[in-house]
Amino acid sequence: MPAKTFTHMHRVTYADCTVGNHIYYGRYLHLLEEARGEFFRHLGTTFLDYQEQGILFPVSEVQLKYFAFAEYDDEVSIECWVISLKGARLGFGYRITKGEGVRILEGETLHGCVETDGRVTRLSAALKDCLQPYLDSE
């Protein structure tokens, strides 16, 4: 486990759900994006700030494993930490739970660091320094 994790809370909306009243499986990627954006905001620089500096972090890989489902009006906890931090690659780990620790989902996203023209660029030292405390040591 990482030294630190960032936790974001989300109340499941009706728009998140299927007719069966549980979160549609594809919506979980939106929740991970929401948590990742709030994680960066917590660190002091938003994705829009990076975009205005000419830097983007496109997703290159996603892995999700589902264990249970969340339903309309559930409050879910989305934990986020760093699993990879080198060169032009950045990876995040996630765990979504509800209630008394009911495991909903675990996953990972891998991102590249590119300039707005698409050229690959290394992660800045400042970004690496901010993310280092959240890096998984395994």
Q: What is the pTM of this model?
A: 0.93
Residue 54 structure tokens:
């000419």
Query: Does some domain include residue 30?
Result: yes
What is the total count of domains within the chain?
1
Cβ atoms of 109 and 92 within 8 Å: the answer is: yes
Query: Does some domain include residue 129?
Result: yes
HEC secondary structure over 30-69: HHHHHHHHHHHHHHCCCHHHHHHCCEECCEEEEEEEECCC
Q: Quick: pLDDT tens for 16-68.
A: 999 999 999 999 999 999 999 999 999 999 999 999 999 999 999 999 999 99
SS3 85: strand
Q: Quick: pLDDT tens for 69-83.
A: 999 999 999 999 999
Q: Most distant CA pair in the chain: distance in Å?
A: 46
CATH code at position 21: 3.10.129.10
Q: Which domain holds residue 35?
A: 6-134
Query: Does some domain include residue 1?
Result: no
